Structure 1
Amino acid sequence: MSFATLLQPDHVYTFLLLFVRLSTLFVFMPFYNHMSVSPQIKAAFAFYLTLVLYPMVPVTPEPHTASLFFAALFSEIAMGLMAGLALNIVFAIFSYAGEQIAFVMGFSLASVIDPQSQIQSPLVSQFLTMTALMVLLAFNGHYMILMWMVDGVKEAPLGGLVMSHALFDYLMGAMAHLFAMGFSVAFPIIALSLLSDIIFGMLMKTMPQFNLLVVGFPVKIGLSFLVWMAVLASMMLIFKREFLAAMEVLARWIGT
């Protein structure tokens, strides 16, 4: 194929749709959309992948009207948005669990600006999300995301991908169960905090000289840390399970 052939309108339109799809995925997908990576690097990586994957894509005919052109662009943007939402919900579960843990441990005021979301969140939430991100790298979840992008280029038509019932049902269910899942992840520490409050209340009734502020809170924080270290591996297993479930739904969406 000559270079002049690649400059035909159909080829330019196909290349543009592919570049928009990959760029949108890099904007919304976890790990690849991290704020520590500069936008120039993300754009360069998306352009490089577009050059590599373009030979695998069938040529899409140029639309006859501007409305069809913008509809195709919106379809590609919506694909990245929906896929990113499905995976970011998994991270949101652990961010919410971190907020609950920080509240019961008395660390609610220990908040800093999250560089990823640009909002103030407790340090416990940031620790859990960063740990989940490292676990994602450990079981090659970032490669799964990248291979899903490649499979989407091969299987899903450019400018014609529509929302499936399975993906819509998954997103609605995941949003509905986000808080319940986050609470269940943080439940061991919440239960220990409730139990310690009951015990300290009984001690203060039987021993009025017991100073809760001096003795009770350090003991409560220490016990919470011990339980947290004991259940952290189980938390990450839940993260892996939920991430793989989301990837399975996305794979069925594009027909792989």
Structure 2
Amino acid sequence: MELVQFFGADRVVTFMLLFARLSGLIVFFPFYSHNQIPLTVKTALVFVLCVIFYPVATVSTNSINFLVVEILGEVLLGLAAGLLLNILFAALSLAGEQISMIMGFSMATVLDPQSGTNSPIIANIINYLALLTFLAFDGHHILLLFYAHSLKFIPLGDYMLGENVIMYITNQVVNLFIFGFTLSFPILALSLLSDLIFGMLMKTMPQFNLLVVGYPIKITIAFCVLIAVLAGIMQIFSKLALGILNDMPSLFFN
């Protein structure tokens, strides 16, 4: 009888809403949403987190008592928060695609396990390094803390997408192209400079074979510059990612 009371309707609804909220962590956030992680492992992780967070979970007294809408609201919390970090990773992919095109590697594509699509190899390398940097400053643990605090400030079934979140996401989308171009600018600038030098050589020495000599030199220069600025790119990425993680509580908990 006590077991039947323990699994009462109110507890089941609380667990379902908690499961929906924590599913947003697995579906929308970097690292947790990686396609290489089996779905069974992701589901088991969500279940374990639900068991851990269940004692501190509370259902809103102002809920509309329509379970489907409340579940969609919980998923929307993960979607809005995860989109902020995914925009930053998308900017790195944009920078990698521009660098690959300048280096002549635009056709050298490989399957990206994260998105499931083909992307240039330079973009893949930068994204993997960014993911390692994200793990290095404990970004995955900060996300767990964010969800733990969300249960304190936002009762289950009570989340509504605010105007400040929409404006923040809009600004991030606008900055995506600026950030991507800024990261790839050193290689773009030196590539244009090398093209100018090769053009002058072609005018002064018509026998200069640009296809045989020029492209290997251009690729070598691009690789050297990429190695030199890669640490700086990761430092800028970590600074922006930490800024977003620090802004998330004020965006969603007010």
8 Å Cα contact 2:59-2:157 kept in structure 1: no
Q: Could you report, residue by residue, the CA deviation over 1:129-177 in whole angstroms, capped at 9, with x for unpaired residues?
A: 0000011111111111111111112221111111223321110011112
Query: Is 2:14 aligned against 1:14?
Result: yes
Residues 1-256 of structure 1 correspond to what in structure 2 (within 5 A)? 3-60=3-60, 68-255=66-253
Q: 1:46 is matched by which residue type in structure 2? A: V
**Structure 2 counterpart SS, 1:112:** strand
Q: 1:148 is matched by which residue type in structure 2? A: F
Comparing 102-111 with 162-171, greater Cα deviation is found at: 162-171
8 Å Cα contact 2:92-2:180 kept in structure 1: yes
Q: Could you report, residue by residue, the CA deviation over 1:26-67 in whole angstroms, capped at 9, with x for unpaired residues?
A: 1111100101100110000100110110001124569675xx
TM-score, normalised by the number of residues in structure 2? 0.95
Comparing 205-214 with 2-11, greater Cα deviation is found at: 2-11
Q: 1:34 is matched by which residue type in structure 2? A: H
Identical residues among aligned pairs (%): 44
Structure-2 change in CA distance of 1:12 and 1:63 (3 Å)? farther
**Structure 2 counterpart SS, 1:162:** coil
Q: Distance in 2 between matches of 1:173 and 1:64?
A: 32
Q: Could you report, residue by residue, the CA deviation over 1:171-204 in whole angstroms, capped at 9, with x for unpaired residues?
A: 0011112111101100000001000000000011
CA shift, 1:208, in A, is 0.8
Structure 1, unaligned stretches of length 5 or more? Answer: none
Structure 2, unaligned stretches of length 5 or more? Answer: none
8 Å Cα contact 1:98-1:186 kept in structure 2: yes
Superposition misfits of 4+ residues, deviation over 6 angstroms: none
Q: Distance in 2 between matches of 1:111 and 1:235?
A: 22
8 Å Cα contact 2:63-2:157 kept in structure 1: no
TM-score, normalised by the number of residues in structure 1? 0.94
Number of equivalences? 253
8 Å Cα contact 2:191-2:222 kept in structure 1: yes
Structure-2 change in CA distance of 1:59 and 1:158 (3 Å)? closer
Structure-2 change in CA distance of 1:64 and 1:213 (3 Å)? closer
Q: 1:31 is matched by which residue type in structure 2? A: F
Q: Distance in 2 between matches of 1:59 and 1:100?
A: 47
Q: Distance in 1 between matches of 2:97 and 2:91?
A: 10
